[in-house]
């Protein structure tokens, strides 16, 4: 027997007298209408956000300080000759392997680079993406009391330098030839 004041169905399975038929349906309809209006209101925003090109490197926040010089052994990209054949190598090793060995490699957290070898001169070159403010600064955010959100010092740039550290890449990860370039693009012929 149903208690007095109960909002449940009666003994015969009927709705109480005060319940509006289709109330749940109206709630769903209003919810969908609200979602449609919310989506229409945000249609001015574009997703994904288009890439914004800069003709200059943005000024870093003074909070971000580098302990070591960025790309200290960097060198210009050499001028290639028309008859040169360039071998391209995939270089990969676990991030922070110098400190943790292969631990992050098991989680597939890797550092990649590209190696180049001129068959004409025998010279090797490496191109890597480096952080401007050291690995710890770009890997983890900083919590600053004057800011509500985490702050990142994560600017980076490509570093091109002479030589491939064969021993390092072979011992700690991957050094595999992946391509051969037999026709040098104009940008490399003239030196970038």
Distance CA 13, CA 11 (A): 5
Distance CA 157, CA 66 (A): 14
Cis omega (within 30 of 0) on the bond before 36? no
Q: pTM value?
A: 0.57
- Residue 185 binned pLDDT confidence (cut-offs 50, 70, 90): low
Q: What is the pLDDT of residues 19-74, one digit of tens each?
A: 555 667 777 777 777 777 666 655 566 677 777 777 877 787 888 877 777 777 77
Distance CA 48, CA 101 (A): 37
Q: What is the pLDDT of residues 112-130, one digit of tens each?
A: 899 999 998 899 999 988 7
């Amino acid at each position: 027997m149903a208690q007095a004041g109960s909002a449940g169905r009666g003994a015969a399975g009927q709705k109480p007298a005060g319940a509006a038929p289709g109330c749940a349906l109206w709630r769903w309809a209003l919810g969908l209408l609200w979602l449609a209006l919310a989506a229409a209101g945000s249609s001015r925003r574009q997703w994904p956000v288009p890439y914004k090109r800069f003709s200059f490197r943005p000024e870093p926040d003074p909070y971000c300080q580098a302990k070591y010089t960025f790309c200290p052994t960097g060198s210009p990209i050499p001028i290639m000759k028309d008859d040169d054949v360039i071998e391209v190598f995939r270089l990969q090793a676990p991030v922070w392997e110098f400190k943790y060995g292969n631990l992050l490699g098991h989680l597939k957290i890797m550092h990649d680079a590209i190696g180049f070898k001129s068959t004409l001169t025998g010279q090797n070159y490496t191109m890597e993406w480096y952080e401007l403010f050291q690995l710890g600064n770009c890997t983890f955010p900083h919590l600053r009391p004057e800011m509500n959100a985490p702050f990142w010092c994560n600017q980076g740039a490509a570093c091109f330098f002479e030589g491939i550290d064969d021993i390092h890449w072979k011992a700690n990860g991957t050094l595999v030839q992946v391509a051969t370039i037999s026709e040098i693009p104009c940008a490399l012929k003239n030196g970038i």
